[in-house]
Amino acid sequence: MFELIRSNKRRSVVLVAAFVVVAIAIGAAAGFVAGFGPWGMAIALVVAGAMAFGSYWKADKIALAVSRAKPADPEQYRRLYNLVEGLCIAGGIPQPGVYVVDDPAPNAFATGRDPQHAAIAVTTGLLEKLNRVELEGVIAHELSHIKNYDILVSTLAVTLVGSVAIVTDVAIRMMWWNGGRNRRQGDHDSGGNPLAIIGFVLLILAPIIAKAMQASISRKRETLADISACQLTRYPPGLISALEKLKADTTVTHSASTATAHLWIEQPMSGVGDSGRLGSIHRLFDTHPPLDERIALLKEL
């Protein structure tokens, strides 16, 4: 278990670096397509560095704001606070900020940059549909993400994936408006700049690359958090029952978005378990392992 956590930390560093490299590549591609030439790379370096720095400090607040999470009132949500406090004491974890999302779908997520600067958010649907033991299992799962240092890379991915999508969209729109009428630095007399062509191809592939990287973040981390949660509560049936209820519930989490999908305990939008001719391709971009697999693994503990 401890070796898995250490491996998680190492993979987190690699993934954050990979996201920054992808952001730089996309920025450079956008620059060439828009006609900035070598300046596109310089601008991309500056923007990517500023984005990574800003994301480190503010990505958790962005994730909470995008999900429309509000601070939970200690009196109104006394049961929730009691469970969080008890599990934090048992696991030796600093108590995170506690938030509630007004959404009928049962779901939850953790965010932050480290255990000292973390927050968990649960939906009103989760509070209504789960009993105390099941809710304890879900909260333990989210606290395990904090304890295992999963939250930094997951939270950074929210802003980095969103930024890639925005840059790609803006660059393609600029190229469309330009319509090929204005010459770009490096264009040949009889054709376009080959680097711009490469950049255009990269812009088309950028959302797919970002989505694949996002999917790679949370799959193994979800399984590790499930196991860690059972160690924390000493009662696997609680989390098993909670996951079974999540599986049975088909309500879509309206507070989730493509950028934040990997944060939630259950994939908030359709996609998991997709069957048909393209099912195997769709599953490549699932941010979570199927609930059936997670439940089966916990039943073996």
- pLDDT tens for the chain, 301 residues long, are 566 666 666 766 777 777 777 777 776 776 666 666 566 566 666 766 676 677 778 878 988 999 999 999 999 999 999 999 999 999 999 999 999 999 999 999 999 988 999 999 999 999 999 999 999 999 999 999 999 888 887 877 776 666 666 666 666 666 655 544 445 444 444 444 555 566 566 666 666 766 666 666 666 788 889 999 999 999 999 999 999 999 999 888 888 877 788 889 988 865 544 555 544 555 555 778 889 999 999 999 8
Q: Look up the domain containing 165 and give its range.
A: 2-299
- From CA 55, how far away is CA 52, in angstroms rounded? 5
Q: Which residue has the tokens 């509560």?
A: 233
Model confidence, pTM: 0.77
Q: Which of 147, 110, 109, 105 is nearest to 130 (CA)?
A: 105
CA diameter of the chain? 72
Determine whether 244 is an active site residue. no
Which entry of 75, 85, 134, 142 is annotated as an active-site residue? 142
CA–chain centroid gap for 204, Å, is 21
Number of domains in the chain: 1
- From CA 211, how far away is CA 199, in angstroms rounded? 18
Q: Which of 96, 78, 82 is nearest to 147 (CA)?
A: 96
